[in-house]
Structure 1
Amino acid sequence: MARPYDANNIFTAVRTQTPEVPFSISARPDHPVPRKGISLAPPTKYPIPTNKFYANLYLGNQNQAVWTHPYSVWWPKGAGNSGTWGLAIAHIERTMLAYGSTNRSGSAQSFINPTGIQSMALSAAELGSSTALTTDTLRAFSVNCNLSPSAGAPPILTFPLCQGMGFLTGLYTSCTPLIQSGVFLRSFATSGSVNGGQTLKYRANLEDNTTWLIYVTPAPGVGYPQCNQQSNTTVRGTAGFTGIIQVAKLPQGGPEMVYDNAAGAFAVTADLSATISGEVSSYTLAWQKAGNFRNKPLLIFALPHHIATFDSATAAAKTALQLQTTTKGVATGVYANSWTMVESKLPLNMKFAPWSNGISADTLPATAISAINTVAEGEINQDFNAQTNLDSMYFSGKGLCKFAMAIYVINDLAKNPSLAQRGLTKLKAAIARFITNTQRSPLAYESDWGGVVSTAGLGGNDSADFGNSFYNDHHFHFGYFVYTAAVITYLDPAWLNQGSNRNWIDMLVRDYANPVEDNLFPFYRSFDWFCGHSWAKGLYESADGKDEESTSEDSFSTYALKMWGIATGDKNMENRANLMLSIQARSFQNYFLMESTNKNQPPNYIGNKAPGILFENKVDFATYFGTNIEYVTGIQMIPLAPPSALVRTKNFVSEEWKTYFDNGRVDQIQGGWRGICYANFAIIDPKAAFAFFTRSNFDASLIDPGASRTWYIAYCAGLGGA
Structure 2
Amino acid sequence: MSVALHNNIAPPQPFLFPTVNSTVLPDPSTYFSPKPLKTPLPTNSFFQNFVLKNGDQHEYIHPYIIKSSLSTLSICYPSLFSNSSFFYQVFILDLTISILNNSHPNSTHLVSSYNDLSVTLDLSSSNLRFLLVRGSPFVTCQVLDKVEIFITTVHAILDFYANSVNTKYTIKLNNNQTWVLYADSPIKLSHVGSKITSSPFLGVIRIAVLSNSESEAVLDQFSSCYPVSGKSSLKKPFSIKYKWERKGRGDLLMLAHPLHVKLLKKGRRVAVLEDFKYKSIDGDLVGVVGDSWVLKTEPVSVTWHSIKGVKEESYCEIRNALRKDVGALDSNKMGTNSSYFYGKLVARAARFALIAEEVCYPEVIPAVKKFLKDTIEPWLDGTFGGNGFLYDGKWGGIVTKQGSTDTTADFGFGIYNDHHFHLGYYLYGIAVLAKIDPAWGLKYKPQAYTLMTDFMNLGKKQYSKYPRLRCFDLWKLHSWAAGLTEFPDGRNQESTSEAVNGYYAAALMGLAYGDTHLVAIGSTILAMEIQSAQTWWHVRQGDDLYPEDFTKENRVVGILWANKRDSALWFAPAESREARLGIQLLPLLPTSEVLFSDAKFARELVEWTEPVLARKGVGEGWKGFLYALEGIYDQNSALKRIKKLKGYDDGNSLSNLLWWIYSRRGKDEGSHGSFCLYNHYCH
Equivalent position SS for 1:144: strand
Equivalent residue for 2:450?
Answer: 507
Q: TM-score, normalised by structure 2?
A: 0.91
Equivalent residue for 1:433?
Answer: 378
Equivalent residue for 1:238?
Answer: 199
Residue 119 of structure 2 corresponds to residue 143 of structure 1: yes
**What per-residue deviation string (whole Å, max 9, x for no partner) do you get for residues 347-406 of structure 1?**
22x31222xxxxx1344313x211111121221122442564622111111010000011
Residue 255 of structure 2 corresponds to residue 301 of structure 1: yes
CA distance in 2, matches of 1:465, 1:650: 35
CA distance in 1, matches of 2:583, 2:265: 34
CA distance in 1, matches of 2:422, 2:589: 16
- Closer/same/farther in 2, CA of residues 25 and 389 from structure 1, 3 Å limit: farther
- The residue identity in structure 1 corresponding to 2:163 is S
User: 1:197-212 maps to which residues of 2 (within 5 A)?
Assistant: 200-212=167-179
Equivalent residue for 1:47?
Answer: 40
Superposed displacement of residue 304, structure 1: 0.3
Residue 138 of structure 2 corresponds to residue 167 of structure 1: yes
State whether residues 49 and 59 of structure 2, in contact with CA within 8 Å, keep that contact through their aligned partners in structure 1. yes
- The residue identity in structure 1 corresponding to 2:205 is I
Superposed displacement of residue 651, structure 1: 1.7
- Closer/same/farther in 2, CA of residues 362 and 666 from structure 1, 3 Å limit: farther
Residue 581 of structure 2 corresponds to residue 633 of structure 1: yes
- The residue identity in structure 2 corresponding to 1:438 is T
Q: What percent of counterpart residues are identical?
A: 25
Aligned pair partner of 2:108 in 129, 132, 139: 132
State whether residues 310 and 659 of structure 2, in contact with CA within 8 Å, keep that contact through their aligned partners in structure 1. no
- Closer/same/farther in 2, CA of residues 530 and 475 from structure 1, 3 Å limit: same
Equivalent position SS for 2:263: coil
- The residue identity in structure 2 corresponding to 1:97 is F
Aligned pair partner of 1:20 in 14, 32, 36: 14
- Closer/same/farther in 2, CA of residues 674 and 634 from structure 1, 3 Å limit: same
Residue 383 of structure 2 corresponds to residue 399 of structure 1: no
CA distance in 1, matches of 2:330, 2:163: 72
CA distance in 1, matches of 2:151, 2:12: 49
Equivalent residue for 1:351?
Answer: 303
CA distance in 2, matches of 1:493, 1:534: 31
- The residue identity in structure 2 corresponding to 1:716 is I
Q: TM-score, normalised by structure 1?
A: 0.86
State whether residues 431 and 512 of structure 2, in contact with CA within 8 Å, keep that contact through their aligned partners in structure 1. yes
State whether residues 635 and 664 of structure 2, in contact with CA within 8 Å, keep that contact through their aligned partners in structure 1. yes
Superposed displacement of residue 166, structure 1: 2.1
State whether residues 35 and 112 of structure 2, in contact with CA within 8 Å, keep that contact through their aligned partners in structure 1. no
CA distance in 1, matches of 2:476, 2:7: 23
Equivalent residue for 2:188?
Answer: 226
State whether residues 388 and 400 of structure 1, in contact with CA within 8 Å, keep that contact through their aligned partners in structure 2. no
- The residue identity in structure 1 corresponding to 2:170 is R
**What per-residue deviation string (whole Å, max 9, x for no partner) do you get for residues 203-229 of structure 1?**
0101101101111124xxxxx332111
Superposed displacement of residue 489, structure 1: 1.3
Aligned pair partner of 2:486 in 520, 541, 552: 541
Residue 308 of structure 2 corresponds to residue 361 of structure 1: yes
CA distance in 1, matches of 2:550, 2:228: 36
- Closer/same/farther in 2, CA of residues 142 and 450 from structure 1, 3 Å limit: same
CA distance in 1, matches of 2:153, 2:8: 48
State whether residues 389 and 398 of structure 2, in contact with CA within 8 Å, keep that contact through their aligned partners in structure 1. yes
Aligned pair partner of 2:81 in 97, 102, 125: 97
Superposed displacement of residue 52, structure 1: 0.8
State whether residues 3 and 235 of structure 2, in contact with CA within 8 Å, keep that contact through their aligned partners in structure 1. no
**What per-residue deviation string (whole Å, max 9, x for no partner) do you get for residues 260-300 of structure 1?**
122133222222234547xxx4321111113xx1x421121
- Closer/same/farther in 2, CA of residues 678 and 563 from structure 1, 3 Å limit: same
**What per-residue deviation string (whole Å, max 9, x for no partner) do you get for residues 569-626 of structure 1?**
1112211222223222222222110112422211211230100001111111111111
Aligned pair partner of 1:216 in 183, 191, 204: 183
Aligned length: 657
- Closer/same/farther in 2, CA of residues 478 and 135 from structure 1, 3 Å limit: same
Aligned pair partner of 1:58 in 38, 51, 58: 51
State whether residues 49 and 140 of structure 1, in contact with CA within 8 Å, keep that contact through their aligned partners in structure 2. no
Aligned pair partner of 1:457 in 398, 403, 427: 403
Q: Which runs of 5+ in 1 are unaligned?
A: 78-84, 100-107, 150-154, 194-198, 219-223, 355-359
State whether residues 111 and 619 of structure 1, in contact with CA within 8 Å, keep that contact through their aligned partners in structure 2. yes
Superposed displacement of residue 699, structure 1: 4.1
Residue 331 of structure 2 corresponds to residue 385 of structure 1: yes
- Closer/same/farther in 2, CA of residues 383 and 585 from structure 1, 3 Å limit: closer
Equivalent position SS for 2:14: coil
Equivalent position SS for 1:657: helix
Equivalent residue for 1:677?
Answer: 626
Aligned pair partner of 2:276 in 321, 333, 340: 321
Superposed displacement of residue 137, structure 1: 1.5
Equivalent position SS for 2:188: coil
Superposed displacement of residue 252, structure 1: 2.6
CA RMSD after TM alignment: 2.5
**What per-residue deviation string (whole Å, max 9, x for no partner) do you get for residues 304-336 of structure 1?**
01101222216634353101112x111012111
CA distance in 2, matches of 1:509, 1:617: 29
CA distance in 2, matches of 1:55, 1:213: 28
Superposed displacement of residue 517, structure 1: 6.3
CA distance in 2, matches of 1:614, 1:141: 20
State whether residues 565 and 572 of structure 1, in contact with CA within 8 Å, keep that contact through their aligned partners in structure 2. yes
- Closer/same/farther in 2, CA of residues 393 and 315 from structure 1, 3 Å limit: same
CA distance in 2, matches of 1:442, 1:68: 36
State whether residues 109 and 620 of structure 1, in contact with CA within 8 Å, keep that contact through their aligned partners in structure 2. yes
CA distance in 2, matches of 1:14, 1:339: 30
CA distance in 2, matches of 1:642, 1:319: 38
- The residue identity in structure 2 corresponding to 1:507 is T
CA distance in 1, matches of 2:637, 2:459: 45
Aligned pair partner of 2:441 in 487, 496, 499: 496
State whether residues 14 and 506 of structure 1, in contact with CA within 8 Å, keep that contact through their aligned partners in structure 2. no
- The residue identity in structure 1 corresponding to 2:54 is N
- The residue identity in structure 2 corresponding to 1:425 is K
Residue 246 of structure 2 corresponds to residue 289 of structure 1: yes
Equivalent position SS for 1:97: strand
- The residue identity in structure 1 corresponding to 2:178 is T
User: 1:249-260 maps to which residues of 2 (within 5 A)?
Assistant: 249-260=209-220
Superposed displacement of residue 418, structure 1: 2.0
Aligned pair partner of 1:474 in 419, 425, 433: 419
CA distance in 2, matches of 1:551, 1:27: 30
Equivalent residue for 1:188?
Answer: 160
Superposed displacement of residue 688, structure 1: 2.4
Residue 259 of structure 2 corresponds to residue 310 of structure 1: no
State whether residues 43 and 395 of structure 2, in contact with CA within 8 Å, keep that contact through their aligned partners in structure 1. yes
CA distance in 1, matches of 2:58, 2:388: 34
Equivalent residue for 1:70?
Answer: 63
- Closer/same/farther in 2, CA of residues 118 and 42 from structure 1, 3 Å limit: closer
Equivalent position SS for 1:552: helix
- The residue identity in structure 1 corresponding to 2:305 is A
Superposed displacement of residue 76, structure 1: 4.0
State whether residues 51 and 526 of structure 1, in contact with CA within 8 Å, keep that contact through their aligned partners in structure 2. yes
**What per-residue deviation string (whole Å, max 9, x for no partner) do you get for residues 185-211 of structure 1?**
222211345xxxxx8011010110110
CA distance in 1, matches of 2:194, 2:107: 20
State whether residues 74 and 88 of structure 1, in contact with CA within 8 Å, keep that contact through their aligned partners in structure 2. yes
Equivalent position SS for 2:549: coil
State whether residues 552 and 636 of structure 1, in contact with CA within 8 Å, keep that contact through their aligned partners in structure 2. yes
Residue 287 of structure 2 corresponds to residue 336 of structure 1: no
- Closer/same/farther in 2, CA of residues 65 and 13 from structure 1, 3 Å limit: farther
